[in-house]
Structure 1
Amino acid sequence: MRADWAGNPITAEDDATAGAISDFVGGFVGYEERAANVLAAAQANPSNMLANAYAGALHLFLETPDAPSLARPWLDRAAANVAGTTERERITLAALAAWADGDMPRAIALGREGVAAHPADLALAKITQYHQFNRGDAPGMLAVGHMVVGGRPDLAHSHGMLAFGFEQCHMLAEAEDAALRAVAIQRREPWAHHALAHIHLTQGRIAEGRAFLEDMADSWTDLNSFMLSHNWWHYALFAISQGDFGAALRAYDERCWGLEKGYSQDQIGAVSLLARLEIAGVDVGDRWEDVGAHLAPRTGDFVNGFLSLQYLYGLARSGRGRAAAEMMDGFRARAEAPAEDRAVWAEVVLPAAEGIAAHAAGDWSRAADRLGEALPRLWEAGGSHAQRDLFEQLWLDALIRCGRLVAAQQALERRRGFEPMSVPSNRALAGVYADLGLPGEAGAAEARVRAALAELD
């Protein structure tokens, strides 16, 4: 029997189909463009169940409202050809069908069941971790990571998946060990690079994190737009923290925005970077306009609350007030719609949406109130710690602008605990302390800014 890239037996009638399935598995877990090769194989071989199931998965990963309908013909064709397939392949199809139906608890349960029984199934593990990530289930991600390391400890991608599970559980020492193990097995493991970027950022190892990504960047060849743009997005975060705003803007222009302007993840990366740069006091020019033009079709997109929040902010900041207002109506409707995740939309996503809409409109007090309400539970809407930090930065900016300086001082000093030399944070602290009548503390913050900038020379 033929096997896929990770060594799992597969039902494939010929070498070409088997090769395309292997390309999907290896390409998918490695964020490589070759994963899309399975589309042509499924089209050419409509009777192969797994090729068609994976083709359906690629359409589901579009993260658009019409993704399930685009995936359905491929999944239906797969379902018509289950005879003679393996149990592992049938579990994969069932998990993808549940995803297409919007039954995420079932999709996750089937994914965990499948990986527990077949721990070398890195593709199903990656899909399952993706769902858990979108629902804020970091311990679930960690459990799946342990499974695949048990199944294929020789593969760098297994350790990369484990590393990110550890990182999202705030277990940073364990995360670093796993990520470094991945890179030791195979230097080209961009997801492990990504996990290390998270660790460096969280621990305030800014110069080290930036240098590490610069050193690894030559290995980021033939990656899909998300992985390539996202690792450069992390690079830009380090540059912003160092006060190297020119480097951050160059990363935005040359590495982050422009690869796949219609793709959800590339869009939210652009929104997030522009917002962070503006909060840091950088003039981003007319860059919002191009982002907003590509966000215009998203006004009715509520596939994922974490994504939708950033679509909203980008629409508002690009001057598309009518589209942003229309999207706010959609948030309210989604929060009232009967669904198993209704509470998250009503109690977390909606107040966050109202807060960022208020921020974009300059209503600082309302922005501080509504974002402050949402932040303690924002993890339930998905996204990583680093990604969700955008909303804390918007909240902090609103606190300062509406004069709630005591609250701002408390939050900024907490941030200094993990990012002591951040130029934007220390500049904000200097202003807050000056306004609070604490010139000594303001001077100390200004001195930290000067020291951080001197490191760039």
Structure 2
Amino acid sequence: MTRDQLGNEITDTAPDLVAAINDFLHGVLAYQTQAVTLMGLIEDHPGSCLGNTYTGFLWMFLESPAAPALAAPYLERALKAAGTPREKANAQVLAAWVAGDIPETIRRCEAIAREYPTDLAIIKLGQYHLFNLGDASGMLRMALHALPACAAMPYVHGMIAFGYEQCHLMADAEASARRAIAIEPTDPWAHHALAHVMLTQARVDEGIAFLEEVAPTWQGLNSFMHTHNWWHLALFYISRDRQADVLATYDAHVWACEKDYSQDQIGAASLLARMEFAGIDVGDRWADVADRIAARGADTVSPFLTLQYLYALARAGRPEAETLMDAIRTRAATTAHDQAAWADVALPAATGIIAHAAGDAATAARALGRALPRLQEIGGSHAQRDFFDQIHLDALIKAGEASTAQQVLEMRRTYDPDGIPLNRLLAQVYEQVGLPEQARQARARAGG
């Protein structure tokens, strides 16, 4: 009997294919590039149920409108191939995903996780889809299926840590992340979960020290994990007004890998915007990001991704922004499992983004204000969705709604009390509302 590196029984016996399946598993869990090894040899193994399923998963991770068609041939092979019940169940997960039935995809992932708790690739995939729906408790539940069977594996604890963090269970999140790191110090997803905890708890200097210490271990990771962990470090740099470090991080890491990949694009766009909101001159950096995003066309695979594409296009003054806005309107009117997220959250947020770029701050503030209370429904993490809060805040200030901006800024100060850009803004707002002493205190916190 052949087993994969996690102990799961597999039908395939060819040494090269078994090695590639293990590369896929380790690559997906550890965010390493060998995950794609399978794509280079699957044509030699057309009868592999699991190999074709995993290849289909890789194509679907493109997060592009073309992905289902690219995955379809591998799905067809996987469904025809012989396989164990677990392997056939994996193929059915791919079938639901290619069909766009995400609730069914998640249901099938969870069924496998319950019966086969060592199938960590499926647990990771299920958590990915729950994340995209903003289902934090589901993310935690999905990851916990791996215990106790996989308690000795570090990547399990990284997944659990992120689930805890998204549920606002910070002590549990930190404990799980540190357990993962104790087993495998280079686990990038555990680094990521701990970065989230430190950001939420205003542990800015500690976050910088920790991420700078582990950053050398990110070299050679896939583009998403490399760029995203550096993105987290850049957020800490912004809080400390380390402008040169933020720009250097952007140029050398955040926008330096796979520039046509969805996650790299939104990381770059949201970081550029955050830099501008913090008063940093980003020069002509928007042009390259907007060029790459424009090439995606009217991409409405995910509301979370699409809104960030839209911001980049609108900020750069690209005509494709209006084309994408039309696609969002169409998507919001299309019956689907996520129609409410598109119609009630993404559409008003998109309206606000377009208004913000056009200089209509009042409309931007109103439209984004409608979307913010339900923003979790579009997916993404707390830290990522904060981008939309920052657009809203900028609109409030530009619209002259200083009293409302003061409320927002003081709430933000609960998790960034000494943030220099934040306190500079607070000083301005307190001057506008006629509170000079509060303005003086804010300026002092900002170091000025």
TM-score range, shorter-chain basis?
over 0.9
Letter in 2 for 1:50: L
Counterpart for residue 418 of structure 1: 415
Counterpart for residue 341 of structure 2: 344
Counterpart for residue 257 of structure 2: 259
Q: CA offset at residue 222 of structure 1?
A: 2.3
Write out per-residue CA displacement over residues 159-184 of structure 1, whole angstroms, 9 at most, x where no aligned residue. 00000000010111100000000000
**Is residue 287 from structure 1 mapped to residue 267 from structure 2 by the alignment?**
no
- Distance in 2, matches of 1:252 and 1:432, equals 29
Letter in 1 for 2:384: Q
**Is residue 179 from structure 1 mapped to residue 192 from structure 2 by the alignment?**
no
Counterpart for residue 454 of structure 1: none
Counterpart for residue 405 of structure 2: 408
Counterpart for residue 442 of structure 1: 439
Letter in 2 for 1:416: R
Letter in 2 for 1:364: A
Letter in 2 for 1:40: G
TM-score, normalised via structure 1 length: 0.97
Counterpart for residue 29 of structure 1: 29
Corresponding residue to 2:190 among 189, 192, 198: 192
Q: CA offset at residue 90 of structure 1?
A: 1.2
Structure 1: segments with no counterpart, 5+ residues: 452-457
Counterpart for residue 370 of structure 2: 373
Letter in 2 for 1:129: Q
- Distance in 2, matches of 1:92 and 1:325, equals 39
Q: CA offset at residue 347 of structure 1?
A: 0.4
Count of equivalent residues: 448
Letter in 1 for 2:141: A
Write out per-residue CA displacement over residues 310-355 of structure 1, whole angstroms, 9 at most, x where no aligned residue. 00010111120x2111111111111001212111110001001111
Counterpart for residue 220 of structure 1: 218
Aligned positions of 1:30-429 closer than 5 A: 30-81=30-81, 83=82, 85-320=83-318, 322-429=319-426
- Distance in 2, matches of 1:424 and 1:394, equals 15
TM-score, normalised via structure 2 length: 0.99
Task: After superposing the two structures, state which structure 1 stretch, 53-62 or 13-22, moved more.
Answer: 13-22
Write out per-residue CA displacement over residues 100-155 of structure 1, whole angstroms, 9 at most, x where no aligned residue. 00001100000000011111111000100000000011101100111113220000
CA contact under 8 A between 1:299 and 1:324: conserved in structure 2? Answer: no
- Distance in 1, matches of 2:71 and 2:433, equals 57
CA contact under 8 A between 1:429 and 1:445: conserved in structure 2? Answer: yes
Letter in 2 for 1:120: T
Write out per-residue CA displacement over residues 252-297 of structure 1, whole angstroms, 9 at most, x where no aligned residue. 0001102000000000000000000111111110000000110112
Write out per-residue CA displacement over residues 17-49 of structure 1, whole angstroms, 9 at most, x where no aligned residue. 111001001111111000001112312111111
- Distance in 2, matches of 1:219 and 1:278, equals 29
CA contact under 8 A between 1:20 and 1:38: conserved in structure 2? Answer: yes
- Distance in 2, matches of 1:132 and 1:150, equals 22
Letter in 2 for 1:195: A
Letter in 2 for 1:441: Q
Letter in 1 for 2:266: I
Counterpart for residue 455 of structure 1: none
- Distance in 2, matches of 1:5 and 1:217, equals 27
Letter in 1 for 2:327: G
- Distance in 2, matches of 1:258 and 1:429, equals 34
Task: After superposing the two structures, state which structure 1 stretch, 267-276 or 209-218, moved more.
Answer: 209-218
- Distance in 1, matches of 2:209 and 2:361, equals 37
Letter in 2 for 1:27: G
Letter in 1 for 2:51: A
Counterpart for residue 16 of structure 2: 16
Q: CA offset at residue 357 of structure 1?
A: 1.2
- Distance in 2, matches of 1:242 and 1:202, equals 15
Q: CA offset at residue 379 of structure 1?
A: 0.5
CA contact under 8 A between 1:194 and 1:231: conserved in structure 2? Answer: yes
Task: After superposing the two structures, state which structure 1 stretch, 271-280 or 86-95, moved more.
Answer: 86-95
CA contact under 8 A between 1:65 and 1:301: conserved in structure 2? Answer: yes
Counterpart for residue 7 of structure 1: 7
SS in 1 for 2:446: helix
CA contact under 8 A between 2:103 and 2:337: conserved in structure 1? Answer: no
Structure 2: segments with no counterpart, 5+ residues: none
- Distance in 2, matches of 1:223 and 1:75, equals 27
CA contact under 8 A between 1:409 and 1:432: conserved in structure 2? Answer: yes
SS in 1 for 2:431: helix
Q: CA offset at residue 430 of structure 1?
A: 0.4
Letter in 1 for 2:6: A
Letter in 1 for 2:43: Q
- Distance in 1, matches of 2:43 and 2:283, equals 45
Structure 1 runs (4+) deviating above 4 angstroms are: none
Q: CA offset at residue 221 of structure 1?
A: 3.2
SS in 1 for 2:329: helix
Write out per-residue CA displacement over residues 182-238 of structure 1, whole angstroms, 9 at most, x where no aligned residue. 000110100000000100000000010111111111211321000000000001000
Q: CA offset at residue 91 of structure 1?
A: 1.2
Write out per-residue CA displacement over residues 421-444 of structure 1, whole angstroms, 9 at most, x where no aligned residue. 111111110000011111110010
